[in-house]
Structure formats: structure tokens, C-alpha cells
Amino acid sequence: MEEFDPNVLSEFVNMVEAETLDKFSSDSYEWLKGNGCIFSVKSYYDVVNNGSVGFSIGGEIVKAINHLREVKVPSNILFFGWRFLLNRIPTKDQLFKQGILTNKNCAFCMVDDESISHLFGRCLYSDCIWIKVFNWIGSGMELSLSKLVSFFLHCEKVKNKVRRLITAVIWLATVWSIWLMQNTIILKNSIFNFYDCMTMIVLRSWTWLSAFCKTVDGCNFSV
Ligand SMILES: [Zn+2]
């Protein structure tokens, strides 16, 4: 609760007080920021960019999101990438803060706190994944290993557009596979499996790039 914005609370109270409750009416959701109270991703994107959802995002994140929107992957993966860039992934430190979990130890190493930067970057286990991915795609690339880990903040360094989009797909396949591995460990009480995680990164990259390559000339990247 220490991060709760009093302005948001005040806005919420004003909204509630402006309405008259009627016990004979059924509840329903309305998206007040869109045309005709209908939710759309574009309207939410506009709200976030305008900083009117209780937080504002910096210029480099907006740029990163704009690059993300160019990538051809399934919409749920784009949505995940979007939440990732906005630091809205429910890692254990976030769930601990909300009182949902009683510990915030990383699901992989079980030592450090599980934050987004730890789980998807600094953790020893994730680091092994990134090194493997970097060795796979990194030769001749303009990015160092550390910049590949935070790809969308540095993707403009990759001048060739096709190569940039391909690397973006592989980056998304990597963070998504790391996230699903974390979910599996928590839900099925299993342990980190490097081979399974890498296999799924390659498989997802191949699947998404196969669809993507049909429409892009000059895509000769081997997976
Ligand atoms: Zn860890």
C-alpha cells in the first residue's frame, strides 16, 4: 500500500460518489476512456501515453513499445511484451507486495528476490539461457549480450530492419519461455530445465518466424 497514489484514490472516490447505487440493476463494466464506453487496445495505449492511469512512462519505453508493435507474433505474446516493457509482470516480488505470496524467492535459484530484472536477466539460470541465445544469434550482431537482454531499449543499434525484427521475435520467444518455465515450476512444483526452456525458445521462434518470413523478402536467418 506504500506505493498507493492518493490522487488515484481521490479520483476513485469521486467516481463512486457520482453514481447512485440501484440494487435492482445488474453490475457491468464500462471503459470510460473509449468511444461509446467500448474498450480498445488503442484507447488504453493512449491513456498510458497520457500518463492518466496512475503512472507515466518515459520516452525510451514509448519508443520500445512502438518497436514492439511492429513485430509479427501472436497477439497474446505482443501483450506480454507490452506488459514486460511497462514492468507489469506478476513476478513474486509483486505478488509478495500485494500479500498474495508469503515469500519472494526466485523460482529458479531460490536465493534472490524474484523481480522482473532478476528473473529475466540477472538470475544465474536465466543468464545461462541468454548466453546460449546470444551464441545462437549473436555473431555479427551490433548488440552485446547485456544489450540483447534488454533488447527493445537498444534495438535501434541493429540497423538492418529484417534482422532487427527477427531478433525481436527471438527475444520475445526467450522471455515468454522463461516466464512459462517459472509458471511451470510454481504450479507443478518442478525444477528449472535448461534443455526444455531452450527447446521451446527455438520451437516458438521457428513457428513465429515461419509465418513472418512468408511476407518479408530477404529473411534468410536459420533457426
Ligand atoms: Zn534467481
User: How close is the Cα of 122 to the center of ligand 1, in Å?
Assistant: 7
User: How close is the Cα of 105 to the center of ligand 1, in Å?
Assistant: 8
Count of CB atoms within 10 A of residue 197's CB? 22
Which residue numbers in the chain have pLDDT < 70?
1-12, 14-16, 18-19, 33-35, 41, 44-45, 47-57, 139-140, 213-223
**pLDDT on residue 21:** 72
**pLDDT on residue 141:** 76
Among residues 25, 83, 95, 67, which one has the least CA distance to residue 164?
Answer: 67
User: How close is the Cα of 42 to the center of ligand 1, in Å?
Assistant: 35
User: How close is the Cα of 144 to the center of ligand 1, in Å?
Assistant: 22
**pLDDT on residue 90:** 94
Q: d(Cα 89, Cα 99) in Å, to the nearest integer?
A: 16
**pLDDT on residue 115:** 95
* pTM score of the predicted model: 0.73
Q: d(Cα 142, Cα 154) in Å, to the nearest integer?
A: 10
**pLDDT on residue 106:** 96
User: How close is the Cα of 54 to the center of ligand 1, in Å?
Assistant: 30
DSSP E strands, 114-162: none
User: How close is the Cα of 201 to the center of ligand 1, in Å?
Assistant: 19
Cβ proximity of 65 and 48 under 8 Å? no
**pLDDT on residue 219:** 47
* DSSP state, residue 118: I
**pLDDT on residue 195:** 95
User: How close is the Cα of 155 to the center of ligand 1, in Å?
Assistant: 26
Among residues 32, 35, 38, which one has the least CA distance to residue 15?
Answer: 32
pLDDT in tens, 152-205: 998 888 888 888 899 999 999 999 999 999 999 999 989 999 999 999 999 999
User: How close is the Cα of 185 to the center of ligand 1, in Å?
Assistant: 12
**pLDDT on residue 139:** 65
